[in-house]
Structure 1
């Protein structure tokens, strides 16, 4: 049994160390309070599990006992609770009080528990020692107080997250999800440390707490920080970061704001990037027209794509690549050398507005990547897009987007002439390679089928090397 517990503790220590390292690495891009607190909790769980593994292999002593107790019984529950405060608090005062309490208890209680002598110095064995047998009255009461406060914080966090979720948005859904993972794990950890529980169960609960931190932080979280236009000032007290909630716009700006839009239904988890980018760009600005090159006077008036040609009908203009790329064999001319364009028949004015073909089939796929796999995924996507451009004439649009507010998410937008063209696309060797090789890089995938009601498509600007 001692070997089994030691193996579980050693594996859990490795898991907690990896989780702490990944969280600390993520702090470089997202210096969030809850990330800092849960990084401290993961590091504490790593130390406590390492002490258990050593104790079950070589026997416990004063040093391994104190490391196990200070890290696992004091610091881990404390910083799990402080992280929930940082996650759910919308204003600065509660966050500041949470930091003040966590740092004060860590310094004061940690020094007391490390310096205070144990009331019993013998009787050590290769089994988890009970805290009530070795701690003096001051460390014992400190642990009781910290445990009570940590449990109250976690219970209150569950209630607050559930109340906000009932009338909230996708941010509140993610907060409730994380709280329901962290809070029960922390409460179970406190119970295992306070009461006489077999060592294998205490070790397992420490491992579960480390896994809960990893899951709650590294699972797909939607970014909810909408990009603001330059003419709208953000309140100074607004929270920052990718999980920041957007504060209401002051009344002085209501006249300048665009007309209200129809309320949105909450999207499924993992689509927060798509919603954020759409809302940020929904300002009646024609971004495609601003990016497009100048169009001759005889050029298309609407810019929509039909049957691979630009214009008001398939007879108006010669074929042009949809991506704006220059195909091999094309000749480049300076403005002075540019030959005059051939005469074009004047397009006939048609009544009404031209609309895309109802048979066009579209897809929007949101990929949430595993940390560290972005460059490999982008290389694979570039190769796939190039193969689609060269060999799929019935694929109208095939574009891979990166999301500025979420480095681990990619969006692939696809339009096909019809569903037959889509099924032909799926059977292509380069598509099968894309599907197979991306599996090791993708954490979650969300797919949306689209109907095209209206569209404007122009050739994209390209970079010449």
Structure 2
């Protein structure tokens, strides 16, 4: 009766061992497949452990069916008692370690014990007879292999207990990677602890086989679920994982994408140099399809702005920034920007929308403005022009000087810029007789754009305009409000100035 029960138990153990060997073999294949894509230290260690479990369980299954011998005993002991628990613990250490010294220490211990232990267990003589039951290691090994296995099992238990504590502590205040590491360690550390204890205490074969199979299944679960690669990691083809890197918080910070900032947009090809505002407005209208770097778009080709070279004004071009002389030479105030070293201006309150002309209560203002502009054109060209003429067309003199300035504002600064521009226009109206036209426009299709249109009797009048205190104030106080400035020089070929309709007055 007892022989029949023993035979049945042997068959059951053999069946469980072979099933466990199949599970461990599939786990090894999964680990190696993942290892080819992500050569990390913990995957290498667990691949060794899973391969060792495959050989050990297969040998145990064959031994329970056909009987054990010296060869099957050595293989099952080297793989199942030495390599499997040792490299399982080394893999958990590689997974959790933040410092390279800790990971290197794990590799050093694992490699040294593997080489020394395998040599001793292969060369040490074996005593005693074998049967179809799992051999008791203490009954067959000499003192050195026995003490070696005791030391390895004790070391594995200490490493797994420490790793379990570290993973739980990291999980309390950690990120998603720490949570994944904790879940994997909670599965693998208890399995490794129980397997080491069963091997150390010489528990029945069926328990040892079940614990080996559970350990192999735990590694498969850990790699397939909590330690599965994130989708962002799969899509990031440029990052090459380091062989020695674990999934610690530091490694996670190295690999995960920067979510605080939007993905960079590829730079636009350089735009051709050309006159006019059509390209700038078109870019703003296309902003729904892509975010454009207008500061970069408006940079001149040489990076120094319109006054960097003497020949830059051979033809007007969009995309030029007003910047100081790159060679450090003194210069006069240019385009409303004060010269270097100009005294600071007192801060001024700001906030309103774009204007065309300042508020004037007198109903005769449009006609008066038109008359002033018309007489100025006439004086410049040697012709008299009446403000009451509805056609108001003249052929201005060639000396009339014009500037068109496009300001791209910082987000949220439109109201402050418009208030500053309105006060500047009022000061120009009161103090600058040689300024024929000075208008600030808003752009319907580009809320962050302002266009200032200026005409002067000649370049001398423009120079006088630049030296006015209100223009220095305008240039100084607009700087924190403006992202980029684009300047276009103009010549006037023909002009018509008529009174503004009352509907357009603010």
Q: TM-score, normalised by structure 1?
A: 0.52
Asked if the contact 2:177–2:252 (Cα under 8 Å) also holds between the matched residues in 1, the reply is no
Question: Which residue does the alignment assign to 2:108?
Answer: 100
2:27 to 8, 19, 27: 19
SS in 1 for 2:93: helix
Q: Deviations over 1:257-306 (max 9, x none)?
A: xxxxxxxxxxxxxxx99xx44x35x4356639969xx99939956638xx
1:221 to 212, 222, 227: 227
Distance 1:85 1:155, change over 3 A: same
- Mapped partners of 2:72, 2:252: distance in 1: 52
Distance 1:221 1:288, change over 3 A: farther
Q: Which has the higher helix share?
A: 2
Question: Which residue does the alignment assign to 1:169?
Answer: 175
1:135 to 120, 132, 141: 141
2:70 to 59, 62, 74: 62
1:147 to 153, 172, 181: 153
Question: Which residue does the alignment assign to 1:379?
Answer: none
SS in 1 for 2:222: helix
SS in 1 for 2:15: helix
CA shift at 1:88, angstroms?
1.2
Distance 1:300 1:12, change over 3 A: same
CA shift at 1:53, angstroms?
0.7
- Mapped partners of 1:211, 1:79: distance in 2: 15
Question: Which residue does the alignment assign to 1:297?
Answer: 282
CA shift at 1:150, angstroms?
0.5
Distance 1:296 1:208, change over 3 A: same
Question: Which residue does the alignment assign to 2:50?
Answer: 42
CA shift at 1:194, angstroms?
1.5
Q: Does 1:283 align with 2:261?
A: yes
- Mapped partners of 2:184, 2:263: distance in 1: 37
Q: Deviations over 1:183-232 (max 9, x none)?
A: 100011111111232211111111001111111122253658999xxxxx
CA shift at 1:91, angstroms?
1.2
Q: TM-score, normalised by structure 2?
A: 0.48
Q: Does 1:184 align with 2:190?
A: yes
SS in 2 for 1:127: coil
- Mapped partners of 1:240, 1:62: distance in 2: 37
Asked if the contact 1:128–1:199 (Cα under 8 Å) also holds between the matched residues in 2, the reply is yes
Distance 1:297 1:225, change over 3 A: closer
Asked if the contact 1:225–1:242 (Cα under 8 Å) also holds between the matched residues in 2, the reply is no
Question: Which residue does the alignment assign to 1:114?
Answer: 122
Asked if the contact 2:138–2:146 (Cα under 8 Å) also holds between the matched residues in 1, the reply is yes
1:211 to 211, 217, 220: 217
- Mapped partners of 1:139, 1:98: distance in 2: 22
Question: Which residue does the alignment assign to 1:6?
Answer: 14
Q: Deviations over 1:435-458 (max 9, x none)?
A: xxxxxxxxxxxxxxxxxxxxxxxx
CA RMSD of aligned residues (A): 3.6
- Mapped partners of 2:251, 2:55: distance in 1: 40
Asked if the contact 1:225–1:243 (Cα under 8 Å) also holds between the matched residues in 2, the reply is no
Q: Does 1:82 align with 2:90?
A: yes
CA shift at 1:29, angstroms?
1.7
- Mapped partners of 2:14, 2:268: distance in 1: 63
Distance 1:248 1:222, change over 3 A: closer
Asked if the contact 2:183–2:226 (Cα under 8 Å) also holds between the matched residues in 1, the reply is no
Question: Which residue does the alignment assign to 1:198?
Answer: 204
Q: Deviations over 1:389-409 (max 9, x none)?
A: xxxxxxxxxxxxxxxxxxxxx
Asked if the contact 1:13–1:46 (Cα under 8 Å) also holds between the matched residues in 2, the reply is yes
- Mapped partners of 1:56, 1:207: distance in 2: 16
Distance 1:135 1:247, change over 3 A: closer
Distance 1:85 1:299, change over 3 A: closer
Asked if the contact 1:77–1:186 (Cα under 8 Å) also holds between the matched residues in 2, the reply is yes
CA shift at 1:62, angstroms?
1.1
CA shift at 1:32, angstroms?
0.5
Q: Deviations over 1:340-372 (max 9, x none)?
A: xxxxxxxx969999xxxxxxxxxxxxxxxxxxx
- Mapped partners of 2:85, 2:265: distance in 1: 49
Where structure 1 has 5 or more consecutive residues not aligned to the other structure, the ranges are 228-233, 250-271, 305-347, 354-465
Distance 1:247 1:57, change over 3 A: closer
Question: Which residue does the alignment assign to 2:457?
Answer: none
